[in-house]
A and B are shown apart, each in its own frame.
Chain A
Amino acid sequence: MANINKLTYDAVIIGGGGSGLRAALQLAQSGLKTAVISKVFPTRSHTVSAQGGITCAIASADPNDDWRWHMYDTVKGSDYIGDQDAIEYMCSVGPQAVFELEHMGLPFSRTENGRIYQRPFGGQSKDYGKGGQAARTCAAADRTGHALLHTLYQANIKAGTEFLNEWYAVDLVTNAAGDVRGVVAICIEDGEVHYVDAKATVLATGGAGRIYASTTNALINTGDGIGMAMRAGIPVQDMEMWQFHPTGIYGAGTLVTEGCRGEGGYLINKDGERFMERYAPNAKDLAGRDVVARAMILELLEGRGGGPEGDHVFLKLDHLGEEVLHSRLPGICELSKTFAHVDPVKEPIPVVPTCHYMMGGLPTNIGGQVLSRDAAGKDKVINGLYACGEAACVSVHGANRLGGNSLLDLVVFGRAAGLQIEQSMKEGFSTDLAVESDIERAMSRLQRLESSNSGESVAQVRKDLQNCMQLHFGVFREGKSMQEGLAKLKVVAERAANVHLPDKTKAFNTARIEALELDNLLEVAMATAVSAEQRTESRGAHARDDFQERDDANWLCHTLYFKGEPGVHRRDVNMQPKTVPSFEPKIRTY
């Protein structure tokens, strides 16, 4: 059975989004034999949907801006479980990474003096929170992700990167020593299965918002990299931390960027009241996303929501005027008309908090090397495996990500992973080849599906999983409800293990892909559910009705979850930046 076609590379990158393409570019330029595997043509990756911008202290809007202020905001935004060495690295290297994007041709919006345009985003301050609102998010209108992804793809064409487009990675191949040695993948077009062997494998597979029924995420965001790693015995970190974005379009889930509020828009309840003034008197609508999302839900619970069901609030933009809306937020105007049937020039957009971003992921160091823990509880590098982007948890976002920090994370740590691999290869890094049984193990899921002849449909099981997560692991959480959710998930897991693939043809069989994705959704959902139930406090995006306070004595730490275990391990947060004093945990107010 393992008699399959084998391709050999120095490095293989799974994922053609912003982080994967940035890593690929680094490796292509280093001369290593590299391939990018992507289940969709790269420019169709989820990064293309990013709207508002990339946050970075390039000192355009404010010539005195300082990356240390950005670092302060990010640490505070993370509710103090972001790793300070990683945040320091991201914020200080950031400007270089952003300028590189501009040099590649990214069509940033501009200021009068020709520099990159920056807009205010939530959670941004000057002078360590003392100097008022900052404008630090570099933007290409409200299509920054599109501009960034296309530019990176173009740079990779220029660099001659090899692409395996519309290939689906099924499972990692690990050798007897537990080192990762490439991946088994299907060429979707003809259905052929290949073993892609590589000394370095990078998971840049993005997020998994599709575990929730309502999400801003693309349909392809099914957490495949997380699932693959978990099945290979690798832990995931902080999976309870899911960001709910305040402004998903009611009913559709599509996002309207925080940049709308950055440009001066604000939220109102059914009475027209600007309610954020009550919840965050200083930052108001630009408080941290977790803070705004909770305020919105409280408004709904207290009966101040709009519509017949009282189940949404509104984002008011009309006072900004047609010209600003059309020049700064053209994409939002389009989306709002299409999905809410509302022209923001005239009427407010109905919005609700919607699942948006996975702060957790595969624990890595700054060089993108994936970490597990040894018997003594110390970090241990998994040889041959790297991760970057939303799939990774390096961790710069901690318990709550600031807007615009993900795109920065992608390019900074995509680049860093590339540099690390280049360095390791120079030093002669190598692992043992995989043997036939290693490859066969990575094919077992495929084989099960091929032999399935009865069972439930993927769509039905997926729907139940999504509804379960939505109901039991949403913006507000509570112990008893989460235990119920966990019990339901266990049933879903049994059902998922027996789904039926009726159509076994090879050519472009998307039903097979969806069946494989379901396993990954399930791994991510399980990790989320167990970690959330275990963390008995409220911090950042994790808000519990039964434990409403932050508990630094017990939970100023990461959680690590291994597939199949009933609980989580604690992992220390890094509080030792290299060039600045550390930021001590404080009460977080906006």
Chain B
Amino acid sequence: MSQLTVSLYRYNPESDQKPRMQEFQLDLPEGKDLMVLDVLALLKEQDTSITYRRSCREGVCGSDGMNISGKNGLACITSLSQVVKNNKLVLRPLPGLPVIRDLVVDMSLFYKQYERIQPYLINNSPVPSIERLQSPEDRAKLDGLYECILCACCSTSCPSFWWNPEKFVGPAGLLQAWRFLADSRDQATEERLAKLDDPFSVFRCRGIMNCVNVCPKGLNPTKAIGHIRSMLLKQAT
């Protein structure tokens, strides 16, 4: 059996003046590479006040984005062997968003930026009696875009989003903006671009690529932003 030290960000608005780090010691079962979420569940058995979100426990619902030993990721699919150094694990909430309690952040701004890009298909032509047709090639353009699980790991690792969360859409929102711009069935290209055409919404991206480095689904918001950027620039000329 090996010992793990977990340093956990604690904050309860009802009892804490300010956040603090609390250390826990945990005996780990031999021969099993636990996920970070398993560790949290074990700690919660000891101290039920420890608070975090979780649902699917398999990396598809996006509930448990958090900062794991310095890097944003999903607790449920991050194994200890990937992140534990010197028998120590450090867990903090996603940076840059207000903390509600412990590892739970207020995602309102993140969702607001998502809603702002009109995350739905716009096609006002009469619907056919069957599906709208789309070639496999056109459909392939959506791969790497539609799989986003809205975990906010990317946007909360993006310095431009930290400084301008109200005005810069952020990598997650922009990835979805591109998902609809790239869809052969969508007819609102101009309207979509018009809403993004200001110095902040898209152009605050500095190409720092933090977003790409942390996305647990292996998606590439920077590339999507590049596509939107060139569409905007092309439109301007």
Contacts and interface: CB of A to CB of B under 8 A. Distances in A.
B39 to A, nearest CB: 15
A540 B106 CA distance: 45
Given A49-B60, A110-B139, A104 B120 contact: yes
Contacts of B106: 189
Interface in A367-411: none
A103 B136 contact: no
A459 B146 CA distance: 36
A508 B127 contact: no
A105 interface: yes
Interface string A276-298: 00000000000000000000000
A46 B130 contact: no
Contacts of A450: none
A503 B47 CA distance: 9
A569 B118 CA distance: 50
A46 B147 contact: no
Nearest to B101: A508
B57 A219 contact: yes
A146 B60 contact: yes
Contacts of B61: 40, 43-45, 48-49, 218
Contact of A335 (B58, B79, B129, B134): B58
A511 interface: yes
Nearest to B114: A157
Nearest to B78: A338
B69 interface: no
Interface stretch (B10-18, B162-170, B199-207, B227-235): B10-18
Interface stretch (A65-73, A147-155, A489-497): A147-155
Interface string A431-460: 000000000000000000000000001110
Contacts of A534: none
B142 A107 contact: yes
B48 A502 contact: yes
A41 B54 CA distance: 11
A40 B55 CA distance: 8
B119 A41 contact: no
B160 interface: no
Interface string A301-335: 00000000000000000000000000000010011
Given A99-B130, A107-B142, A459-B45, A334 B107 contact: no
- The B interface, classified by DSSP as helix, strand, loop or mixed, is loop
- Interface size class for chain A? 35 or more
A112 interface: yes
Question: Counting chain A CB atoms within 10 Å of each CB, which of B52, B100, B183, B186 scores highest?
Answer: B100
A279 B92 CA distance: 52
B136 A511 contact: no
Contacts of A218: 55-57, 61
A157 B12 CA distance: 32
Interface stretch (A74-82, A113-121, A348-356, A577-585): A113-121
A510 B103 CA distance: 12
B120 A105 contact: yes
A157 B57 CA distance: 26
Given A49-B60, A220-B55, A334-B59, A105 B131 contact: no
A294 B100 CA distance: 47
A157 B13 contact: no
Given A115-B133, A189-B100, A105 B185 contact: yes
Interface in B96-153: 100-102, 104, 106-107, 111, 115, 118-121, 123, 127, 129-136, 138-139, 142, 146-147, 149-150
Interface string A222-262: 00000000000000000000000000000000100000000
Given A58-B131, A457-B45, A107 B101 contact: no
A100 to B, nearest CB: 8
Contact of B58 (A49, A104, A511): A49
B120 A44 contact: no
Contacts of A45: 55, 61
22 contacts: A46-B56, A48-B60, A49-B56, A103-B132, A104-B120, A105-B120, A105-B121, A111-B136, A114-B133, A114-B134, A114-B136, A115-B133, A158-B118, A218-B61, A254-B58, A335-B58, A458-B48, A501-B48, A505-B12, A507-B13, A508-B101, A508-B102
Given A110-B135, A459-B44, 8 more contacts: A44-B61, A98-B131, A105-B120, A107-B142, A338-B58, A505-B49, A508-B100, A510-B51
Q: Which 9 residue pairs are nearest across A and B when measured between Cβ atoms? A: A105-B121, A114-B133, A102-B131, A511-B48, A154-B120, A44-B61, A503-B49, A508-B101, A158-B120
